[in-house]
Structure 1
Amino acid sequence: MPGPPSTFRPTDGETAALVTQLVDELARRLAQEAAHPPAEPLDMTEESRRRALVRLRVLADVKQAVRHLEDEVAHTAAASGAGYPEIGQAVGMSRQGARRRWPGLISNSTPHPTPRSS
């Protein structure tokens, strides 16, 4: 049995590879469930195209869901005091990129931790 989740600290590349693998598997399963068999048999090329298009639709839905989750967590981070530089860094973009992606996310009323002097 694996240890507590907090002991697993993958690198960015490992996380991306793992998520890619999981999303690919999920998309394949969802596409199989969503693909209704055609009324008439298709040749292999047509069947391959049909399956690829169903899978592509599923992946577009996954991308939309991930984008929605990113928006929710960006708002949570901002409400917890994170600024555009931190939020941008977390998603691999600049402060300006984060500001363009989530305009108005950080306002003057959002509490920001103030640096303490020693």
Structure 2
Amino acid sequence: MTQVVDELARRLVADTVPPSAEHRDRADQARRQALLRLRVLAGVKEAVRHLEDQAAHAAAAGGAGYPEIGQAMSMSRQGARRRWPGLITNSTPHPTHRPTPRST
């Protein structure tokens, strides 16, 4: 996953920063590319966090609890609860087992 994100960031930077024509500007160009890469990666991190929030809400709506959500995020139940306080409430639908009616 890291390689995919790194490649995406590098491609976005390469598309944004035109190469410098002068040899003496190479250090400046490298600095600008590194700073732009940081900006791109910050945007990726924000987008991933947003997508995590959406997935956590969808999981909770599907009946997942904090232990399952925490495990999916490689964090504890408490960590998931701190990240998404109020995500799991009494109004969150939970799957229930309904016994099959017997005919008599």
TM-score, normalised via structure 2 length? 0.83
Residue of structure 1 aligned with 2:41, choices 37, 59, 62: 59
> Is the aligned partner of 1:78 residue 2:60?
yes
User: Which amino acid counterpart does residue 73 of structure 2 have in structure 1?
Assistant: V
User: Which amino acid counterpart does residue 98 of structure 1 have in structure 2?
Assistant: A
> Is the aligned partner of 1:104 residue 2:86?
yes
Larger radius of gyration: 2
Count of aligned residue pairs for this structure pair: 97
Residue of structure 2 aligned with 1:33, choices 11, 15, 24: 15
The alpha-carbon deviation at position 35 of structure 1 amounts to 2.2
- RMSD (CA atoms): 2.0
> Is the aligned partner of 1:69 residue 2:58?
no
2:101 counterpart residue number? none
The alpha-carbon deviation at position 82 of structure 1 amounts to 0.1
The alpha-carbon deviation at position 43 of structure 1 amounts to 2.6
Per-residue CA deviation, residues 14-56 of structure 1 (Å, 9 max, x unaligned), is: xxxxx11111110011111222567x95532222111100111
Structure 2: runs of 5+ lacking an equivalent: 99-104
> Is the aligned partner of 1:49 residue 2:6?
no
Residue of structure 2 aligned with 1:94, choices 67, 72, 76: 76
Query: Would you say the 8 A contact 2:63–2:94 is kept in 1?
Result: yes
Query: Would you say the 8 A contact 2:19–2:29 is kept in 1?
Result: no
SS at match of 1:109: coil
C-alpha distance in 2 between matches for 1:50 and 1:63: 20
> Is the aligned partner of 1:21 residue 2:23?
no
